[in-house]
Amino acid sequence: MPRDFSAQEQSKIPATLSMPRFATYLVACGNNVEAALRLYGWNARVSSAFLFPLHLFEICIRNAVANAATATYSPTWPWAPTFERSLPDYRHFNPRRELVKVRQRHEIPQSTGKVIADLKFAFWVSMFTGRHDRRLWRPYIKIEFPNAPAGMQIEQIRARIYAVADEVRQLRNRIAHHEPIFRQDLIASYEAIEEIIGYRCADTLAWMRRAEAVTTLLLVGP
């Protein structure tokens, strides 16, 4: 079998990537440099392929939150004092501070759409904690996620969305920082993304399935 990489490439590419970064792949491949380079490239291609499902997932859940917040607090919900007070004031990621910081950039004129676009993904994940059940999810979760299994209770639907969203957030962060994802159960992660998008819109799910490249790459392997 011909070599995938020349001797020079096997020397120069790992040095360019940095040996500490490349070491993760080298260890996983039993110190076989060519296999580690193939794994690195595959990891990068899978990461890239995940961007489309991650994009649809984030848009789906943030629009569901925005719709429920609009119905509960008004179309200018980012400026509603009752909405601001409903947010937790955590020490690490602080949804209340995040909202105030983002909305200040869009106050004149008040642009809810621009606030929605600028809020961090972690903000939207935090909106699926139990503290929002009474105001947002008991009235609206089955409207915003009409295809959730009929046997699931409202709190179960919300908790499942939160669990998947938090897992997706971590995967998204690793991809954004060019970290290894090959050790993760990527099939399970992709299937979880499908599940929640399917809760919201079967047509969007069908479109994603037609267009995505993740499953092919996972099937082929490095």
Query: Does 207 have pLDDT greater than 70?
Result: yes
Query: Does 217 have pLDDT greater than 70?
Result: yes
Query: Does 1 have pLDDT greater than 60?
Result: no
pLDDT tens string 99-130: 999 999 999 899 999 999 999 999 999 999 99
Distance CA 143, CA 68 (A): 9
Query: Does 158 have pLDDT greater than 80?
Result: yes
pLDDT tens string 24-60: 999 999 999 999 999 999 999 999 999 999 999 999 9
Average pLDDT on 62-78 reads: 97
Angle, alpha carbons 123-127-131 (nearest 5°): 135
| Gap between the terminal Cα atoms of the chain | 16
Query: Does 3 have pLDDT greater than 70?
Result: no
Rg of the chain taking only CA atoms, in angstroms: 21
Task: Give the residue extent of every domain in the chain.
Answer: 7-220
Average pLDDT on 169-186 reads: 97
Query: Do 76 and 61 contact (CB within 8 A), yes or no?
Result: no
Categorize the per-residue pLDDT at 91 as very low, low, confident or very high, splitting at 50, 70 and 90: confident
What per-residue confidence (pLDDT) applies to 2?
47
State the pTM of this model.
Answer: 0.93
Angle, alpha carbons 181-192-162 (nearest 5°): 100
